[in-house]
Structure 1
Amino acid sequence: MSQLSRESCEACRVGAPRVTEEEVKALGAEVPEWQIVERDGIMKLERVFTFPDFRQALAFTQRVGELAEQADHHPALLTEWGKVTVTWWSHKIKGLHRNDFILAARTDEVAK
């Protein structure tokens, strides 16, 4: 279990600060398989997980959904045959918060 995944998420409110470029670099190093993507001007964390079939992809999607419910922070999940794309960002601040990196680390653990 990574140090980042053990951190607690804090309630994110409108106006909460987004992570800085320095924080993105430091936190990104802890979840190296995740990519920073920008869509509609919003920075997001994204990773594609692969599986041998749809059943396992769907089971992973369910586990990530349960993780999201526990944290009350919800990603975009695209489930396809043999793969799941997980995208984390903080809707309220329209960008990345430390919580997104924490949950990316937890998602990595769910995948193991």
Structure 2
Amino acid sequence: MAQLLTKTEIHKLANSLSGWTVESNKLQTLRKFKDFVAAIEFVNKLVEPAESAAHHPDIEISYNKVKVTLTTHDAGGLTQEDFDLAAIISQIV
């Protein structure tokens, strides 16, 4: 099982990610797209990196908005895996 990060580690890692916020024990970003199709295309691009990492985000879609939430469920909070995947997701256009 992945090791939980300390509050200090979480703060430091969160500051290195643009567009992400820490809410309770979750790392979140909200992306807005021109329309529903573009939002779904973005979600489809998340599949390969999530599968490769064996770490899967929670995803909410509302028309042209996609909310991505990361947390390590089996560890009960944020781990390095969450921040690693967030950095990859940040590069997806």
In 2, the alpha carbon distance for the partners of 1:37 and 1:17 equals 19
- 1:108 counterpart residue number: 90
In 1, the alpha carbon distance for the partners of 2:66 and 2:47 equals 12
Q: What are the ranges of 5 or more consecutive residues in structure 1 without an aligned counterpart?
A: 1-12
Shift of 1:79: 1.6
Give the counterpart of 2:6 among 14, 17, 20: 20
- The one-letter amino acid paired with 2:21 is Q
Give the counterpart of 1:33 among 1, 4, 19: 19
Instruction: Give SS of 2:85's match.
Output: helix
Give the counterpart of 2:64 among 76, 82, 100: 82
Across the two proteins, how many residue pairs are aligned to each other? 93
Moved over 2 A (4+): none
Question: TM-score, length-normalised on structure 1?
Answer: 0.78
Percent identity over paired residues: 33
- The one-letter amino acid paired with 1:36 is V
Shift of 1:18: 0.6
- The one-letter amino acid paired with 2:8 is E
Matched, 1:62 2:44: yes
Shift of 1:74: 0.4
Q: CA RMSD in A?
A: 1.0
Shift of 1:17: 2.4
- 1:9 counterpart residue number: none
Instruction: Give SS of 2:45's match.
Output: helix
Question: TM-score, length-normalised on structure 2?
Answer: 0.93
In 1, the alpha carbon distance for the partners of 2:41 and 2:49 equals 13
